[in-house]
Structures are given as structure tokens and as C-alpha cells.
């Protein structure tokens, strides 16, 4: 890994939509989790770097910028998504320790947050998350694609195991935060089988998550090349199938209709909510 420091002009980035969140906050550029399907690979083209997984940038002035924006009289305490592009709890965070200071600012300014992560490093900040969850809405979401740990290690070689992510979600029940299981992206021919969905939803039930949110794989831009190269190397027999199914950026409607029919049936069998907003509103 090559680690770098950069500055940013602003901490919060306003999104076109407002539901379920209106703002995005990313502490890092690039991500050590090295997920083969990562949609954000394109973002490094703005940094004069072609290695999204190897060149990791930390924003050294992010706390100064964030406090200025949260303290503004114009700030309306809208929901902020933390780590929507790059994981705020990727390995370098263990050394940088930016997130505890970020959480303290959100506590001070009583601002609701959604934190998405593939790491259990977030448990380091459990007490701060609990404190924030008593003054503002907090949603902690873990993205988990498969219960097959060998496959998971291939798909997400820099992330912690699925088992550890489920354990993290369960531990979050000791806070007032709501929790979500993000089953995304669902990978055709690899993770889209019923047995895997049964395992994921059983894990979600045991962790007592408030909701489950599934999503299909999209392959666009640089992500397409990276993922197809991965398939060609690790699962060459699937390459023709992927090339056919992904003639465009997304899988066809017929495939998705059948997939979601199965996924929703399994989710309902485990009595899990499919509503992203309901648990947020109740807090």
C-alpha cells in the first residue's frame, strides 16, 4: 500500500436526492478492501493515480472543514452518509483514528448519520456511536455478499470475514442505533443462489437487524474491466455467461425479476423487513 495525505475543499458533499440521505462524507480516497466489484474505482482519475486499491489518500483537514459546515447556521441536520464511496473503517483508519473525532462532531451538532462498512473496526467506536444514537438517528449498515468465506476472501480480499461482520451488527444492538444488512451486489452465478440467500438472511435474523436491502451487480466504466478480469482469472467458465448477461451495464429485466422474487421470498420467510426508511423514522 502507498499512503498519501491530501486536503479537501469541503467535507460534506450535497447529493441530488434527499432520501434516504442528502449528504455524503468520505474521509479517504481509495480503499484497501479491494472489492472486485467496487463501483468507485473511477474516482481515482481525479487524483492522478490509476491504483484505487493501492494508493490510499487521507484528507488531513477533514475535521476542520466538517466542523465549520456543521456549525453553520444554514446546517439543517439532514442525514449524512459516512463511507458511501470509500470505507471509513478500512485498515489505515486503525492508525489514523479520524472517525472518533468525526463522531464527536456529529454528537456536538446532533446530526443523524448512516455508516456503511465492511469492517468490524467500527466496534472500537461503539461508545461514541451509542452516545450519538441517543441524540440523533444512527444507522449502522454492513455490506455482506456471501456466507462462503472462501468466496468472500476472493471477492473482498482486504475486508474482514462475513462472520465478523455479522458479529459486528449483533454487537451494535447494545446501542440505540438501527442496523441493516446490505446484500449487495448480488453476483450472478456466484452469490445469487438460494442457499447463499438463506445463509445471509439467517445471519441477519440472528444479528437482529432492522432491515435487509438487496441490490444487483452493475458493471460500468473501469469497474467492468476490473471485474471481468477477475472472473476470467478466477472463474473462466463463467466469463461467457457474464459477457452475455452484461451486454450493457446491468443484467436484464428477466434475470432481475426472477432474482428478486426469490430474494424477497427468502427474506419474508425469515421475517425480516425490506423497508430502509421505517427503522430510520422510528428513531
Dump pLDDT digits (tens) for 81-128: 998 889 999 999 999 999 999 999 999 999 999 999 999 999 999 999
- What is the residue extent of each domain of the chain? 2-281
Residue 278: per-residue pLDDT: 61
Distance CA 168, CA 41 (A): 26
C-alpha cell at 62: 477533514
- Give the class (CATH, top level) of 2-281: alpha beta
Distance CA 117, CA 122 (A): 8
At 63-86, the pLDDT tens digits run 999 999 999 999 999 999 998 889
Is the Cα dihedral 32, 34, 38, 43 positive or negative?
positive
**What percent of the chain is predicted at pLDDT more than 90?**
85
Distance CA 126, CA 168 (A): 10
Residue 279: per-residue pLDDT: 63
Specify the range with the lowest mean pLDDT, choosing from 51-55, 80-84, 158-162.
51-55
Element (DSSP H or E) covering residue 169: helix 162-171
> Does residue 153 have a pLDDT over 80?
yes
Residue 1: per-residue pLDDT: 83
- pTM score, whole prediction: 0.94
Question: Which among 151, 143, 118 has a CA at the least distance from the CA of 234?
Answer: 151
Burial class from Cβ neighbours inside 10 Å (0-12, 13-18, 19+) for residue 174 reads exposed
Grid look-up 484505487 returns 52
Amino acid at each position: 500500500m502507498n499512503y498519501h495525505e491530501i486536503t479537501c475543499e469541503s467535507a460534506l458533499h450535497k447529493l441530488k436526492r434527499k432520501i434516504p440521505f442528502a449528504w455524503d462524507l468520505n474521509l479517504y480516497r481509495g480503499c484497501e478492501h479491494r472489492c472486485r466489484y467496487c463501483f468507485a474505482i473511477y474516482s481515482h482519475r481525479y487524483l492522478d493515480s490509476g491504483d484505487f486499491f493501492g494508493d490510499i489518500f487521507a484528507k488531513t483537514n477533514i475535521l476542520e472543514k466538517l466542523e465549520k459546515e456543521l456549525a453553520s447556521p444554514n446546517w439543517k441536520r439532514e442525514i449524512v452518509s459516512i463511507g458511501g464511496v470509500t470505507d471509513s473503517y478500512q485498515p489505515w483508519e486503525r492508525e489514523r483514528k479520524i472517525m472518533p473525532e468525526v463522531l464527536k462532531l456529529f454528537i456536538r451538532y446532533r446530526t443523524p448519520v448512516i455508516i456503511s462498512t465492511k469492517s468490524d473496526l467500527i466496534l472500537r467506536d461503539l461508545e461514541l456511536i451509542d452516545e450519538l444514537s441517543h441524540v440523533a438517528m444512527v444507522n449502522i449498515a454492513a455490506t455482506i455478499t456471501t456466507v462462503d468465506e472462501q468466496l468472500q476472501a476472493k471477492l473482498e480480499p482486504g475486508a474482514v470475514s462475513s462472520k465478523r461482520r455479522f458479529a459486528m451488527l449483533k454487537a451494535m444492538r447494545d446501542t440505540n442505533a438501527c442496523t441493516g444488512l446490505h446484500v449487495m451486489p448480488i453476483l450472478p452465478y456466484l452469490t445469487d443462489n438460494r442457499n447463499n440467500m438463506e445463509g445471509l438472511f439467517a445471519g441477519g435474523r440472528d444479528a437482529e437487524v432492522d432491515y435487509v436491502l438487496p441490490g444487483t451487480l452493475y458493471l460500468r466504466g473501469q469497474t467492468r474491466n476490473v471485474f471481468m478480469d477477475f472472473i476470467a482469472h478466477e472463474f473462466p467458465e463463467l466469463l461467457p455467461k457474464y459477457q452475455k448477461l452484461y451486454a450493457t451495464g446491468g443484467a436484464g429485466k428477466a434475470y432481475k425479476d426472477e432474482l428478486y422474487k426469490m430474494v424477497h421470498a427468502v427474506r419474508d420467510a425469515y421475517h425480516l423487513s425490506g423497508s430502509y426508511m421505517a427503522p430510520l423514522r422510528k428513531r
